[in-house]
């Protein structure tokens, strides 16, 4: 029996929507709309899922069991195009001043806003569109490097929080008959 393989080149789009009452990771396709797209990606995106483990042995090394003790998921990327709403999504302790300026920090202890974060991989090759979604929080603040030799890219990072069923990432695939 041959193993089906899929090779996908390309990048994609990132969508972010503030969580209102969602406790489960919703279906992703309906949220992949222009109003939720926070910018265009530069340098690709990374979806990461890792586990913490604990290995238990008896004294004689006759019994060996391994357990998952923790799970972590993260989405990182860089945005080439962005605006003020991106800053607001990335910084939890920001406020908007009366003149429209964003003020960062000095709010002390504050609860982090949860977001539904989706990376939609748009293929340059093949015809499978993949979407990776999570409920997450911005976990790295804001980093922008202004360089006279290159475009400014905003580095973004979202760490997943488990939904009510303990899931961290939702993955959807669909055939795309259109040209990318």
pLDDT 10s digits, 132-160: 999 998 888 777 778 888 888 888 899 99
CA-CA distance, 153 to 156, in Å (whole number)?
9
CA-CA distance, 180 to 174, in Å (whole number)?
13
Percent of the chain residues past pLDDT 70, beyond the cut: 79
pLDDT value of position 65: 94
pLDDT value of position 142: 74
Give the chain's residues under pLDDT 50.
179-180
Task: Kindly state the helix (H) or strand (E) to which residue 95 belongs, with its residue range.
Answer: strand 94-96
Residue 160's CB: how many other CB atoms inside 10 A? 24
Residue 104's CB: how many other CB atoms inside 10 A? 13
pLDDT value of position 179: 46
φ/ψ bin of 100: left (φ > 0), alpha (ψ from -120 to 50), beta (otherwise): left
């Amino acid at each position: 029996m041959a193993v089906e393989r899929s090779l996908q080149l390309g990048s994609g789009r990132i969508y972010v929507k503030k969580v209102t009452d969602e406790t489960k990771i919703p279906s992703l396709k309906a949220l992949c709309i222009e109003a939720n797209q926070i910018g265009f990606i530069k340098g690709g995106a990374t979806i990461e899922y890792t586990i913490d483990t604990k290995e238990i042995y008896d004294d004689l090394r006759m019994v060996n069991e391994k357990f998952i003790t923790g799970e972590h998921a993260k989405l990182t990327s860089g945005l080439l195009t962005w605006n003020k709403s991106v800053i607001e999504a990335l910084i939890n302790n920001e406020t908007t001043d009366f003149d429209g300026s964003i003020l960062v920090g000095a709010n002390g202890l504050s609860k982090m806003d949860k977001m539904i974060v989706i990376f939609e991989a748009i293929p340059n090759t093949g015809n499978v569109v993949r979407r990776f979604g999570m409920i997450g929080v911005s976990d790295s603040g804001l980093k922008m490097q202004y360089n006279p030799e290159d475009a400014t890219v905003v580095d973004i990072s979202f760490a997943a929080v488990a939904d009510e069923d303990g899931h961290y990432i939702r993955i959807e695939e669909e055939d795309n008959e259109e040209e990318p």
